Amino acid sequence: MYFLPRLSHLPLLHLKTTSIHHIKQLHAQLITKGLKSPTLFAKLIDRYCAVSATNHAHQIFAHFDEPHVYLFNTLIRCTLPRTAILVFANWVSRGDLVFDDFTYIFLLGACARSSSPLALWEGKQIHSRIIKHGIASNVLVQTTAIHFYASNKDVSSARRVFDEMGMRTSVTWNAMMTGYCSQRERASCYARHALMLFKNMLVDVCGAKPTDTTMVCVLSAASQLGVLETGVCVHGYIEKTILGPENDVFIGTGLVDMYSKCGCLSSAFCIFWRMREKNVLTWTAMMTGLAIHGKGKEALELLHAMEGHNSRPNAVTFTSLFSACCHSGLVDEGLHLFQSMRSKFGVTPTIHHYGCIVDLLGKAGLLKEAYEFIMDMPVEPDAILWRSLLSACKVHGDAVMGEKVGKLLLQLQSDLGFLDLTDTSEDYVALSNVYASAEKWEDVEMVREVMKVKGIETKPGCSSVQCISHHCFDGL
């Protein structure tokens, strides 16, 4: 049974109270004592939102004669992104609250975190209000706008905001570079933009200095491009101006990742063992490097060393380990690891992990076992799993299994109702290639004829050449 908190218990609002009943008692105590402290009520809003009781948080505004912007800001900061945007729209229609800079900072942050397909459009409307009300000169508002646009893949708008800023802080530069490095499409192109932006930062007239976050972004860009010379230059700059990799776990992890992906595994190992502190990201980065270089046994040995350092692997760690087993043909080891990831390490396999096992079995030529593994999965297989097995069927020339898998894949795409026919073209082509590898030319012609009737066109291939000057960081 809960006790009724006295005034002396109000500091409990600072604690992570998880009981809605307890929070309500604290709320009642504030009312009966006649307290009007915005700070206390803001903490109460925070507690209500933490237990998803947003409706109770809304009721707090009734205790004040006039709407309080500080309490409103607290509400939209603490609640879910979509709810925050809807709450803001509701208060705009009421017209009885004057918003401040922090309101728009929290709203743009909500739009950056939102998974709604309307997030970009809603954020643009909020940005328009910012410009209309003349607060666009606030550096923090503009920096948050950069983060918002980049999070919603509108990098050109993010760069436009960045270029129009009269003053930039280190956080601003970091937001733009992070935005570039976080893009999955045209990743190499944006990585080059991030590196050039770092070069511009070094001669910035406002005097913004690179921070540890800056260097993590730059190392990420270098690793995406796989340009060792640039990565070495960045490493030298870090050693001269910022904490060494052995003292900063994030910079150290970035260097391990960069050297591994740039083909210099010995340097990655050297930095890895020099680091005084390693987190799960550090271990995973080193295992990923070993996987890339086909050193599966070494990656598994690193898992045992990780246990000895009282660090537990996560889902991404297992993805790297399965990749290492796949590249090295360690089928038994990979299957054993899959069986133990839940029982020994408490990590629940995801669809991605199941896909890794299918890939492992498929590359080893165990097509029947891979098919049975998919059929016995407790989760619904997706197109990626079937494509992986179909590709293995082509490699090993099993037209019978390839035909079965190909038809299942096409049926899955049909059931999902794909409207863009180019999304299914690769599946038809893959099935056609399976028939071709088995010299079943009549079946190849049949697949091509089906594509022609359905109006399915193949995606054009493309290639790119990277050309980055070795002198782009001269003078670091």
- CA-based nearest residue to 88, from 78, 101, 75: 75
Q: How confident is the model at residue 268 (pLDDT cuts 50, 70, 90)?
A: very high
The predicted structure's pLDDT at residue 185 = 86
The mean of the pLDDT values for the chain is 84
Please compute the mean of the pLDDT values over residues 18-46 and round it to a whole number.
77
Q: How far apart are CA 299 and CA 289, in angstroms?
A: 9
Share of the chain above pLDDT 70, in %: 83
The predicted structure's pLDDT at residue 453 = 64
Exposure string (b/e) for 220-258, b if CB count within 10 Å is 16 or more?
bbbbbbbbbebbbbbbebbeeebebbeebbbbbbbbbbb
Contacts of 201 (CB under 8 A, 6+ apart): 173, 208, 210, 214
Q: Which alpha helices (H) appear in 226-308, and where do they start and end?
A: 228-241, 249-261, 265-274, 280-292, 296-308
The predicted structure's pLDDT at residue 7 = 43
Q: Are 210 and 216 in contact (CB under 8 A)?
A: no
Exposure string (b/e) for 356-377, b if CB count within 10 Å is 16 or more?
bbbbbbbbbebbebbbebbeee
In angstroms, the Cα distances linking 182 to 189, 224, 250, 288, 332 are 12, 11, 16, 19, 35
The predicted structure's pLDDT at residue 137 = 84
pTM: 0.80
CA dihedral (201, 202, 204, 210) positive or negative: positive
